[in-house]
Structure 1
Amino acid sequence: MFLKSVEIFGFKSFADRTVIEFSEGISALLGPNGCGKSNVVDAIKWVLGEQSSKTLRAEKMEDVIFNGTENRKALNVAEVTLLISNDAGILELDIPEISVRRRLYRSGESEYLINNTLVKLKELRELFFDTGIGKTAYSIMEQGKIDQILSNKPEERRYLFEEAAGITKYKMRGAEAERKLARTEENMRQVESILSEVKRSHDSLKVQADKTIKYRELKNLVFDAELDLQLLKLRGIMESSNGADDKLKTKVADKQKLTDEIDNINESLEENLDLVNNMESDLIESQKKLYGIDLEKTGKESQERMLAERRIEITKQAESCIAREENLKNRIESINIQIKERNSELEESGKRVRETETNIAGFEKSINTAADRISENEKSITEAERRADEGEKTQIDLQEELRRITDDIVSQLDTRLKETGYSLNERKAAEQHFNELIERLRIHLDGKKKFFDDARKTSAFSEKPGKLLDAAEESVADGASRIDELRQAFKDYRETIPAFIDEFLAPEGIIVKKRDLDTRLEQNRNMILSMREKARDLREENRKLNKKIDEYRKTLEDLKMTKVRMETRLNAVRDAVKQNERELNEQQGLLVENRNDLESCNSRLGNIGEQLKQIEVEKAELQKREQKLRKELDRLENGISKRNVDMKSREKRLKSKMENLGKIQQQIETLHIEISNFKVEIRNVYDNFRDRHSRDLSDYDSKMYELPGEIREYRERLAKKKDELKSLGSVNLMAPEEYEEVKERYDFLNNQINDLNQAREDLKQITDQIRTESTELFVETYNNIRKNFHIMFRRMFGGGRAELKLNEPEHVLTSGIEIYAQPPGKKLENIALLSGGERSLTAVAMLFATYMVKPSPFCILDEIDAALDEANVGRFVNTLVEFGKKSQFIVITHNKKTVTGAGALLGVTMEESGVSKAVAIRLDNTGVQADEQEEAGVI
């Protein structure tokens, strides 16, 4: 029996449905602090029935439901499922695999399920009684349990011994028997009190019942007299109605005959219908059988697929063993090569350290040279910015002077134009005429466009248009007449320009002054830009130099770190050589184990082949049964069809008979009307009698025709009996019934007293027997654990001694248990005086001593090695590996040495804040060491 897996959904930090599968032997659960490892332990305790929210590290039980994060909504349900292998039949359920589930809703509702069937918490706990599994058993060992074992209260240590002794169920049954005994004695006291009251009523009612019996006898005689009178009256009325009844009988006989014929037809229809129903039932049954065969075929096919998959899996395992053997051989060869290479590496590493020191000195010199250059550039930047600032001040003065000269030019030009009578309109008209001539020349001399374009531009801006026109005459001989027109138009245009313009354009004029000022402005602007550009270039150079200095410093730091790493590596290589030698011995041992595994795989492959052949035979038999059932289905369907045709024919005959029956029924109803009056009179007699006596007169019809004499005699007898009845006086009519009820209760209570006395004796005998058996089991288990504890203590501490003592040996079932320990080199003392590490190691010794007597199928150890030093951890791991061959251990630890004893690694991470995720890394013993070296940083 072992824990196969735990499935967690919505419990604490496990927001997603997570399945963690465990293997037999030892599994290590790893992960950083706060990732949710302990939540896995809490989940297992919770599903086993833990009711304390504080034990689960929560304020209230609803707090165990995932409460959401920044990126996820809160859930409304938490669910945990344990899947337990029960091949050994340790649990009472006779099935190979058992699932235990607990579900909690945010509304507070809780459910427990065993194999998907709702059960009570008590039933779930009883399933694990005396197995070492449960919320208070020793299957879960954490720091709190260690504190409980080592508690200052000796009586709190008993649970470990009681669970190992298997007396938990006896204690439960004994407590239940004592509660029943107390209830029985309380019931006896109550019954005796009730019995005394009932006896008083019993004696009083007996006297009243005797008088009531005599009264009832006279009452019956009065009733008999009145009955005779009514029967005589009824007889006369009934004789009158007999004639009408004879006619009615004839018609009824005719009706009955026709009804019989109809019944025969109905009966035959029902018979046919029954046959059809039976055939349909057979049809359905055959279909069910056929469906069952299909299910069996599906099951065989599923079994066949499962075996095929198993064969593939075992084949892969065999191939893996072959590959592993090759890897082991290669690894052994590789280790030998590594030892040689690392010896060479020791010499090479020393040489590289010296080279690195030389590089460090060179980079330090480069940094100092670049710093000096930066200092010189800073001085040049300051000088360039000073000259640029002075140039900007000069620029402002020149711009102000330029603005003043420009204003003067505009003012003088405006005044002189007005004095000369210059007309802007005439000038525009001349220019328009000139442009028209140019356009006509362009059209006429299309090939000379470039030349005339130059002439037009020259006439607009040049003072000497004559030279251009002469050039035009030489180039175009056939345009002479149009050129004269152009010359005259241009002359008119020139005459419109005022003569004072020449004054502005003279060397000493205002326009020349403005041009000089523009030149000085441009030169000053260029100087400023040059200084700013120089400063920027120097700053850029300094930035690059600073960047180089940073790079040199980073390289320098890298070189220093490289030197440290190389020195560290030098020491690591020396350690690695020693490690390689140890690993070489391990790999050679693993090679032998791997060959044994390969032989086992080949044997299992042969067994699977035989099972597959048997399945093929069974599938062929199912095919034959299926063919036979299909033939039977065809026969039944044909039979049902034929019966349905016959039933339609009979229904047609039935309809004809029913029409005749309707006619006879009308005749019978007419006769009923004739005798209805007689029946009314008869009913009145009956009703009147019932109203007076609360009895039915029809019960006495047989006496009607036997009465002799006249009515007068019956009246006299009735009067006499009424007088006798009156003389009795007041009577309790219910006394006989009340007496019988009280007598029945009186007898019942007497019997109850006797039964309770017997039950009390039986319960006392049961509690004594339970106490005796529990004592024997506890003493035997205590002595065995006591002996084993001493042995395990010496093994865990490497010597010393330990003892267990009962505080009250005369009261074995309630006595506390004291623990005394004497580590090597110390005196024997109470465990409370030991150090934290010694207390933890003592508790571990107690746990293993208990496992030697009664091992739990699986055990969870939650960081119990945290307080142990390296030497004690080694002894703990060796012992754990030994016990792991018989029981399943799931170890939560941060200690690397403890991890080396595990056959499988399970990881818990928190990639998303607040949400735990499980990662399974299943490793066999041949791959643990290599993966520890390669992935130690990840873990």
Structure 2
Amino acid sequence: MHLKRIELEGFKSFADRTVIQVQRGLTGIVGPNGCGKSNVVDALLWVMGERSAKTLRADSMDDVIFKGAEGRTGTPYAMVEIILSDEEGQVAEPGAEVAVGRRLFRTGESEYLLDGRKAKRKDVKDLLMNTGLGVRSYMVLAQGKIDAVLSANPAERRSVFEEAAGISRYKARKHEAELKLARVAQDLARVEDVYKEVQRAVRTLKYQAGKAQRFMEARDNYREAHVRLSYVDRYRMQVEETALKAQEKELETSIQEIRDRRSHMESRLNQLQEEADTLRQRTDSLRTDSSESRHKTATLEERVRGLDSRVGELENRTQRESERLAGLDEEDRSRVDADGLLQNENAQLAQKTAAIQSSLELADTEFSRIRDAHRATRQQMEELRAGVLKALGERSAQNNQVAEAAHKRSEAQGDLRSFERRQAELQSTKTEASEKLVIAKKEFREASLAAEQAEGRSHQLLQNRDSLRKQTSDAADAYSAAIRSQTEAQTRLTALEAVEQDMQGLPDSVRTTLEKGATGLRGLALDGIEIPAPWDRLLENLLGRLQHALWLDHRDAASQMKGAADCFFPAPRPTSPVHVAGARPLEDLFVGDSEKCRAICARLGEVYCVATAKEARRLADQHPGALFLSECGEMHGAGYARLGMLGDGAEGLLARTNLRQESEKALKKAQEAASSAQHEEGEARQQLENLNEELATLDSTLRKVVAERDRAQTQVEELERRELANLEELKAMEADFSSASELVEAANQVEAEATQLREAAERKRCELNEQLLSAETLSTEQEETLETRRHALQEARLESERHEQRLQHIQGQLETHGRLHKRDKQEGARVRQELETLAQRIRETQAEAEAGRTQLRELLTERGGLDERLAEATTQHERAAGVLASERASVDGGTGRLEDLLGRRQELALGLQRIQMSREEQVRALIEEFQQPLEDLVRSLGIDETENELEDSEYQELSRRVSSLKETLDRMGSVNMEALGELEEREAREQFLSSERSDLTEARANLERTIEDLDARCRERFVDTFEAVQSQFEGIFRRLFRGGRAELGLEADVDPLVAGIDISVRPPGKDLRSIKLLSGGERTLTALALLLAVFRSKPSPFCLLDEVDAALDDANVGRFLDVLDDFVGETQFMVVTHNKLTMARCERLFGVTMRKAGVSLVVAVDLSEIAEAEDGTVSRLGERPEKETALPSDRGVQVPEAAKEIEA
């Protein structure tokens, strides 16, 4: 498969439709920077399905659509299509072309095209999978990707090897299987959860169902016992109610008698009570007057004591206020004395502060003068220090130059000595390598001869194996075809036998008659008769319903038949049919029972068989008394014609007989063919096994011979390379020796000049140091003076601040004393006013207390007379109260008896009410609990209504049983009465989920086996590819570097499916520990060696190299192109380049330029045609040819003027 052409329209800078015809070999794409060369590379990535705008050097996918330029508007869409020619039939029929396209509209719609039809991106990926093409494949090698191969970590390098190994398809299938496995695992987890939940529910429902069963049994027992107990309780309550009513009637009589006696006693008691009330009112009046007198006396005594206490308090307060007034006068006199002292001190401090301020101003002026002088001195010191540092820098620089020159001289002298030693070693190595090269060449020739012989024999055996494989395949196909034929024939035969056995196709009346049987009945008339095809179907059509006629021994047997039926029986032999030229009597075609044949022919009359309908019509006209039947189904006679087959076309008895015979013959033939094919296949397989064993032996021998040859060839190449490397190294060493000598002389000269400059810098440094020391001494003296003056100035400032603070403090004290003096005057006036008020209040209180004492003496005299009258009244009241109490005791005795009787009657009434309420409660409770009255429950439960009396023991036992059953029901709590029905549903659900879980478990196991199988295949393919790439990598590396070592390695103790790939290289003459230490050109060559090794193991149909030679010099470019020539036969290469050497090697050049700003134009030239014709022309795609001019190159080819302009 190879790339035939690329079509672009509206893609990036390609505004117009551009067709790039790509041929086999090496094609170059040239042009100035920014003209759109890399857009061709982007177009190929885009059409392969690239979805990253960053990879396409764009911000968004809309950027790939032509935006417009000077004089040009933007295009509505971008379109790229590539046409691939598939000669080997990798993705299509051999020799066919495949068109892969992609279109993006400005509206955002995108579509992929396969052969002009819309497709999905996945279809494009699947089509190109394992062909080496794709956005993630190695078909595009750019500078960034070249370096990314080395910069990537070991795990990221796997992608290139995986694409080469062709395991993308398996990884995609594995990914799908893993997704399915994840879904199955999720489904299984959900089913497990639901299954466990259903199991828990089933266990719960089983418990609930058992509980519901026990609940129903206990509930029935409880209902029966409770109803029986209620029935007995009702009878007992009726008996108790009757007894209580009798007792209530007796109590009513006793209560009436007691009420009559009580009425008489209450009249007497009322009279006595009136007398007692009169005495009590008199006593109460006297007692009230005495109480009021005592209260007034106590009040006056309390008031007198209060007034005496108030007088004492007022006298104490008067004394305290007098003392406070004397204290205020004393404080005021002390404060006046202190104010005088503070004013004297204030005047003295003001004089001192003025003197200190004058001295402070003089000291501040002197301090500023000294500080300015010190600053000037410090500035001079800084300038001197800078000069010293500069001189030191110059001296250090010259010292470094002296040291560097000495170091270079030492290195150069060491190199000279190393060159001499290495030259001697190379001479010795050259002699030894020449001897080994002669021996290695001889071994290589012997190994090559043995390999050619083994390869010839292997080729012959492979041809024989292919022939045997074809023979085996043909035999297997023949055996399969024979088995299919045998199966088909056996199936047909079985079906026909089943039809005959079941009498299918016969009318029901005929089938019934045959099943019942009759005297003289011998089956169907057509049994035992045969007629060749196609006359069997034609005869059946002619007979119509007569084909189902019965055969009887004689005519009399027909009279015994029941029901309607057609019958044949033996008839006299008829006369022979008349001979008709060109026709054959139907009778002559019959084979079988002659009597049946004669009877049928007698019924049909003269019937003749002819070949065509035309012949039948002709003979019918000539012989009016006969019928003529043609092979096409038409029948003609005198005044009658049947055109075509009538009826449903089903096979009758005659046709089935012929089919059965044909099926038996076909079955026998197929069995013989199957046996023969099986025998031939077995012989071919045995021969193939023998040949495979011989091939295996020969292959082992061939591998050993080829390995020996390769080893010898590698040894020869290595020795030749070493010899060539030694020669080159000797030549390079001579130039290096001369260069080293010149370096020694130059280093000596530089060292002398640097020494002189260093001495001058040292002298300058010493002069500046002396000036710096003088300046430092002066600065030290100025600093000491400045510090003394600064200290004195600070002391003066502190003294001034202390005086100012003291002045402020004295002024504050004076102000405070003034405020206190004013306050004390106000307080003294207030206290004197308060003393006068207190003296007046004391006099008033003493007068009021004396008046209270006089009134108290008068009240005490009056209270003595009231106490005597109260004692006399109290004695009379007590005598009347005694008589009243005696009479009341008699009444209370009768009242107590009456209350006892009333209480007992109340108890009886309560008992009756309790019985009635209990009976009503019993009825309500039974209706609420059982939804039926007691009588209905007794009848429904079959309880004997006469058994309403129970012994106490039996009643207690029944009551305990009811309580026990009630407690049992209460302990059960809520009961799910639907548990039985739910249990059946959940058990069915549990069985279904168990089946689902088994299916999912089996599916998971199948997916895991599939993933393991895919891993095994991927592992095997990856390891094979890795070994193939590894074997090629070192050889290509050695060719690019002309020596050195390179190897690939998998991470140790890691599965090859995920193991990273390490790269270890060692260019000739270097001992590098890491590929990160390689130069830019070495990194490019190493990456190219790796990618070309991948190409060698799994070639891609075409490859684009985007300025991969930019980091290489001309020598490395030449070696790279030499290696690339080995690949051109298998792979198309398109190179985007600016290198003249690369252009010269290309067989065809495409120049990309911009005649109009922003619009790319492609110019094509075939260098092979230019070499043949001096005046050859080159045409721009879609336009007329342009003029050519010569472009210098290594091959001296003529390059078009347009291409030269583009490159310029």
Q: Is the structural similarity TM-score above 0.5?
A: no
Compute the TM-score of the two structures, normalised by the length of structure 1: 0.42
Q: Which has the larger radius of gyration?
A: 2
Compute the TM-score of the two structures, normalised by the length of structure 2: 0.33
